[in-house]
Structure 1
Amino acid sequence: MLLMRGEDLMGWAERARPGDTIAYARDHITPSLAAQTRPMIDAGIIIPLFTRDRGEGVYLAKRGEGRIARVKRRQAQVRNDGRFRRKPRRSIEGVLLRILRHAASHNRPCPTNRELARACNLSDDKSASYRMRCLVKAGYIAVEDHSPFGRRVITILTGKYAGMKTAEAALPMMP
């Protein structure tokens, strides 16, 4: 049985002094509460304790010496479902985003999927197309124009390059 939610426990930790103790759950802890308390435990804000009271398990939190600011900064990156946001700069999508930003800032046309696949060491142009769809779904870019005879026009939606577009250009004709 839950006595407190993760947000309530954080509020208590902000007001409590080091050494103060509070019961936040009885009998068992839900996975969502465990995910919410893990950053506080890692930062040393709370120290988890367990005791038994009349045959029931009681989960206690003892206020540690950790600073609240570390957890609040980390919680800003947490999605609503509790998973940590994947940073695009540390992935293939991040490399693609850098290439697109460079093209937009220098008023160049958007690279084709084959060119993107070659630049990112992907297996084929379908892999690059999938990664581009991931960037669109994540809200980093928008595809303005995608005609069969010309290159697509990409608009950057985030960062200091927000609003910049790649140049329009025709695809080279095949012999």
Structure 2
Amino acid sequence: MMATLPAVHAMDEAPGVVASAERVDAWLATAKPGDRFVYASRCSLPVASKGAARMRALQDSGLVFLHCPRDRENPTIFNYLAIRTARPRPAPQPERATLTARLVEADTALTDALLPVLQRAAHYGRPCPTDRVLAQRAAMTIDQVGEGLAALRQAGLIQITAPGSQSKRRVTIVATGQRTGAMA
């Protein structure tokens, strides 16, 4: 048997106005279980109402119960009522930073050839190859290796730790966190 709800006398929104999605979220942020919010008083809700759509989504997630009793003074008007349930709000998901590659078109060929060589060395924890070895494995000149490393670093694809000499350089692949091993 369903319990009857008491009649709604006070209105939170002006007659004919539907609360915006932002106003609905502001109410939800402070509402306690059992709190009521009349988000519209009108004959019907507009199909494109974002506030009404937000309330339906909240009902689907179990955060509110929706009810629309007729107004006591004007039976052609409905008071669209939301009642906060005891279900806790889900914790907001943290926003994760995304990696963005800012490569110049000329650098793309260099980085496409150089990155797999560095990834392979980092995957197996091997020492970072010298510029000469990188040039041989990536089929480029030694000057191009420097340009390619600079482009990869600027694009945020790798981090380089160079304690003094290139033979002790360590490269970290940002996407995986893997790094080349240090030379003895």
Max Rg structure? 2
- Taking CA–CA contacts closer than 8 Å with sequence separation of 6 or more, which of the two structures ends up with the larger relative contact order? 2
TM-score (normalised: structure 2): 0.39
Bigger proportion of residues as helix: 1
